[in-house]
Amino acid sequence: MKLLGEGFRWNDLSVGQQFRTFGRTITETDIVNFISCVGMLESLFVDKEYRAQHSAIPGRPAPAALVYALAEGLVLNATGQGTGLAFLHMELNVEGPVLEGDTIHVEIEVIEVRAASKGARGLVRTRNRIVNQRGEAVIVYTPLRLMEGRATD
């Protein structure tokens, strides 16, 4: 019986393939829960009056770490469920702010696919662009993942 939602295997992917996730709106609850859970109680995130006087951007910003974490949830639920084995490396650049009420999605491009040194495993690197509702890239990151392979004859 086919398992629904199962992720890609490394040897089913090729360089240049592109995918897009569903979207996710960032809420006040997301921000409050995240900053409370990780102890990121910076005035920028918890003090409305401080933000009004000192912030470089209008509105309530979401920590980039939160935006990245939510994006990873979107990506893994769509591409790596049951087939992702390890997160090995990444580079990450924050390109712009994400505010409460913004909706993000992730645009994924496969940029590297190769067999691992042992087993039926492989390494997959993607360029993931977290994009807001205005089509602006807000974070770009390039994860390298160890992924399960499909059995070969």
**All domains of the chain in start order, with CATH:** 12-147 (3.10.129.10)
All residues at 6 or more sequence positions from 17 whose CB lies less than 8 Å from its CB, including other chains: 109, 110
Choose the weakest-confidence range: 29-38, 75-84, 93-102, 140-149.
Answer: 75-84
Q: Rounded mean pLDDT of the chain?
A: 94
Beta bridge partners of 19: 108
What's the confidence (pLDDT) of residue 153? 46
pLDDT tens per residue across span 23-70: 999 999 999 999 999 999 999 999 999 999 999 989 999 999 999 999
Asked whether the beta carbons of 48 and 100 are under 8 A apart, the reply is: no
All residues at 6 or more sequence positions from 67 whose CB lies less than 8 Å from its CB, including other chains: 26, 98, 104, 130, 138, 139
What's the confidence (pLDDT) of residue 83? 94
Q: For residue 3, is pLDDT > 50? A: yes
- Residue 76 has φ and ψ, to the nearest 5°, of -70, -35
